[in-house]
Amino acid sequence: MKNSEKVDQFIANNDESVIKDYHDKLFENLTVLNERHDKLILWEIIIIFLYLFAGNIKIENLNLGPVSITDTSLLLKLIPLVFVYLLYDLNSVSYQKKEILFAFNIITRVRFDKLFKEEDSNSYLSRIYKPYAFTNSISNFINEKAKKVEITFGLLVLIPVILIGFIPFYIIFSMLRDVYTNHMNDLLGKISFFITIWLTIVVAYKRIATVLMNGRKEN
């Protein structure tokens, strides 16, 4: 059974109050995930800058909660683990957002069928009803009644954004190369190297599997 059919079945088998409560809960979950998604991206950017400048920073004593760092080499060993974890978490949050948004759009159309046309899940009224997310605002370059010129311009703007999605993997490769070259002489360096590789493979596999699954069948 397709996901759309599952949502339709849920709507058909429940009364308005249950549907409203579930819809409101989806809205809350979407709000939380949007906030987490944006924070994860911000943390990734911070980690990237920290990695780029860590080699030129002299640390006498850096306290990170219960952990005290006095050597930049320790920081360079830990950064890949932190970064790949953020990437894994970001990938998981993005997938969950997609799942929730799919059901949310269907239920929104059903609840407000007088406002939203059945085929229009990205209309103006629908977009402003959804909780805000900085990452979602990028896709609004292309609106539902855009002209060809606007669509072309929007796509040109989105292409660099899409390419940016590959940057984390390049950063991870650079981090791994640094760890392999300079920090494989101790246990922490080896742990960081192999766990980072493992998590990177997991993230890449999940992304590829999601794309292939979406290509084979409609959600």
State pLDDT tens for residues 52-101. 887 665 555 555 555 555 567 778 888 999 999 999 999 899 889 988 98
State pLDDT tens for residues 29-38. 999 999 999 8
Closest residue by Cα to residue 75 from 169, 178, 167: 178
CB-based contacts of 111, cutoff 8 Å, min separation 6: 19, 20, 23
Q: What is the mean pLDDT of residues 37-48?
A: 89
State pLDDT tens for residues 129-164. 777 776 665 555 555 455 555 556 555 666 665 666
Rounded (10°) CA dihedral 65, 71, 76, 79:
0
Paired with 62 in beta bridges are 69
Domain boundaries, position 67: 3-216
State pLDDT tens for residues 99-124. 898 888 888 888 876 555 544 545 66
Q: If you search the block for the tokens 């794309």, which residue do you land on?
A: 211
Task: Say if CB 61 and CB 70 are below 8 A apart.
Answer: yes
Sign, CA dihedral 187-46-85-194, equals: negative
pLDDT at residue 216 in the model: 58
Give the whole-angstrom CA distance, residue 210 versus residue 95. Answer: 8
Domain count, the chain: 1
